[in-house]
Amino acid sequence: MGDDRITLRELSVDPAYPLPKRSEWGIGMVGFGGIARGAHAPAYRRAGWTIAAVADPSEPARKVAREQFGVERVYSDYRDLIADPSVEIVDLLTQPSVREEVVLAAAKAGKHVITEKPLTQDPEEGERMVDAARKAGVTFAVHQNYRWMPMNWLARQVVQKGIIGEPFFAGIQLFGSQDRDLKGHHFYSVCDNFLTVQWNNHLADLLRYWTGRDARRVFTRTGRSRGQNFVSDNLLTSLHDFGGGLTGTILHSELVRSDMTGVECRIDGDKGSLVFDFFTRMRISCDATGKGVREVDFSGVQFGDSFVGSMADFLCAVEEKREPMVSARKNLATVRTFLAEHESARRGGEWVEV
Chain mean pLDDT for the chain: 96
User: Which one of 129, 146, 163 terminates a domain?
Assistant: 146
Structural domain for 247, as ranges = 149-302+331-353
Q: How far apart are CA 341 and CA 271, in angstroms?
A: 30
Share of the chain above pLDDT 70, in %: 99
The reported pLDDT for the residue numbered 259 is 96
Instruction: Give the number of other Cβ atoms within 10 Å of residue 191's Cβ.
Output: 13
Distances (CA, A) of 200 to 133, 194, 205: 25, 8, 7
Claim to verify: residue 173 and residue 260 sit in the same structural domain: yes
- Is the domain of 156 the same as that of 232? yes
| Residues 241-251 pLDDT 10s | 999 999 999 99
Indicate the residue among 112, 146, 180 that finishes a domain.
146
Q: In this predicted structure, what is the pLDDT of residue 3? A: 65
Contact indicator for 175, 262 with CB cutoff of 8 Å: yes
List pLDDT tens digits, range 146-186.
999 999 999 999 999 999 999 999 999 999 999 999 999 99
Q: Check: CB of residue 170 under 8 Å from CB of residue 273.
A: no
Tell me: the pLDDT tens digits for 18-77? Answer: 999 999 999 999 999 999 999 999 999 999 999 999 999 999 999 999 999 999 999 999
Residues 202, 269, single domain; the answer is yes
Segment 118-147, tens digit of pLDDT = 999 999 999 999 999 999 999 999 999 999
